[in-house]
Structure 1
Amino acid sequence: MKSELLDTVLRHADHLADRDGVARTPIPGLVAIRATERSALSYQIARPLACLVLQGRKHVTMGSQSFTFAAGDSLLVMADVPTVSQVTQASASAPYCSLVLDLDPAVIAGLSTEMAALDDDGQAPVRAEPTDAHLHDTALRLMRLLERPASIPVLKDALVREFHYWLLLGRHGAAIRRLGLPDSHVRRVARAVAVLRREYARRLPVEELAALAGMSPSSFHHHFRAVTSLTPLQFQKQLRLIEARRLMLAEGASASLAAHTVGYESVQQFTREYGRMFGLPPVREVRRLQAA
Structure 2
Amino acid sequence: MNARPIHDSLLKTALQHVGHSSASSQPLDIGIRGVSIVRADAPSDIDCAVSRPLCCLVLQGRKQVTIGSQVFSFGQGDTLLITADVPTVSQITAAGPGRPYVSLVLELDPAIISELSVEMRHTQVLAPPLRVDETSAEVADAALRLLQLLDRPASVPVLGAQRLREIHYWLLAGERGSEIGRLGWPDSHSQRVARTVALLRADYARPLRIERLASLAGMSRSAFHQHFRAVTSLSPLQFQKQMRLIEARRLMVSEGRSASSAAFAVGYESVSQFTREYGRMFGRPPARDAETVRRESEAAA
TM-score by length of 1: 0.90
Q: What is the alpha-carbon distance in structure 2 between the residues aligned to residue 183 and residue 81 of structure 1?
A: 19
Say which SS state the counterpart of residue 151 (structure 2) adopts.
coil
Match of 2:80 in 1: 75
Give the corresponding residue for 1:192.
Answer: 196
Larger CA deviation: 18-27 vs 158-167:
18-27
Matched letter for residue 130 of structure 1: E
The answer to whether the aligner puts 1:41 opposite 2:43 as a matched pair is no
Gaps of 5+ in 2: 1-5, 297-301
Match of 1:149 in 2: 153
CA distance in 2, matches of 1:196, 1:18: 33
d(CA) in 2 for partners of 1:119, 1:205: 28
For residues 263 and 122 of structure 2, the distance between their equivalents in structure 1, rounded to whole angstroms, comes to 47
2-structure distance, mates of 1:101, 1:176: 13
1:1-292 to structure 2, matched below 5 A, reads 1-14=6-19, 19-117=24-122, 120=125, 123-292=127-296
SS across alignment from 1:203:
coil
Deviations 1:257-278 (A, max 9, x none): 3223323344343223222322
* Contact kept? 1:201, 1:263, Cα under 8 Å: yes
Q: Identify the range of structure 1 (193-202 vs 216-225) with the bigger mean alpha-carbon deviation.
A: 193-202
In the alignment, the residues of structure 2 paired with residue 281 and residue 50 of structure 1 have an alpha-carbon distance, to the nearest angstrom, of 32
Deviation sequence 1:145-199 (CA, Å, 0-9, x none): 3333333232222221111100001111111111111222111111111121223
Residue type matched to 1:145 in 2?
Answer: L
Contact 2:23 2:40 in 1 (8 A): no
User: Which amino acid letter does the alignment assign opposite residue 7 of structure 1?
Assistant: K
Give the distance between the partners of 2:162 and 2:155, measured in 1 at CA: 12
**Unpaired runs of 5+ in structure 1?**
none
Q: Judging changes above 3 Å, is the alpha-carbon distance between structure 1 residues 66 and 204 closer, same or farther for their aligned structure 2 residues?
A: closer
> Match of 2:66, as an amino acid?
T
Letter in 1 for 2:89: V
TM-score, structure 2 normalization: 0.88
Seq. identity, %: 57
Q: Which amino acid aligns with 2:94?
A: Q
